Amino acid sequence: GESVGLHLPTLSVQEGDNSIINCAYSNSASDYFIWYKQESGKGPQFIIDIRSNMDKRQGQRVTVLLNKTVKHLSLQIAATQPGDSAVYFCAENKNTGGFKTIFGAGTRLFVKA
C-alpha cells in the first residue's frame, strides 16, 4: 500500500493563535488535494479541498495553500480552538480510472488553553 511518512510531527499552539500545518506530496500528476482532521479513535473528517489549478482556497477559519512548484500544501487555521486538537492529514488524489486517495504523514495539533 501507499502512504507517506512513518512518524507524526507535533505542533503545539496557544488557544487563539493561528496554526500552520505543512505537507509535502509525492506525485506531480495529482490534481486534487484534501485536508482531513482525525480525532482519536475516529475516522478522518473532510476539512477543505483544493484543485491543482488553484493556489489558495478559503473556508470557515481554514485556508489551504498549494505550491505545485515544490509540491507543498499547507493548512492554516485561524484563531485555533481547543476543539481543533487532532491529527491533520493532507491527501492527494490520483485519478486512475476512478480515484485513489493517498494520505500524507499527518501532524498532531495540540491547542493549549
Partner 1 sequence: GAVVSQHPSWVICKSGTSVKIECRSLDFQATTMFWYRQFPKQSLMLMATSNEGSKATYEQGVEKDKFLINHASLTLSTLTVTSAHPEDSSFYICSAPTSGRPDTQYFGPGTRLTVL
Chain contacts with partner 1 (rule: CB under 8 A): 1-8, 32, 34, 36, 41-46, 49, 89, 93, 98-106
Query: What letter represents residue 62's amino acid?
Result: V
- State the minimum distance, in angstroms, from the CB of residue 99 to partner 1: 5
- State the minimum distance, in angstroms, from the CB of residue 15 to partner 1: 24
Any residues with CB less than 8 A from the CB of 89 and at least 6 apart, and which?
23, 35, 36, 38, 44, 103, 104, 105, 106
Alpha carbons within 13 angstroms on the beta-carbon side of residue 9 total 12
Nearer to partner 1, 1 or 83 (CB): 1
Nearer to partner 1, 9 or 113 (CB): 9
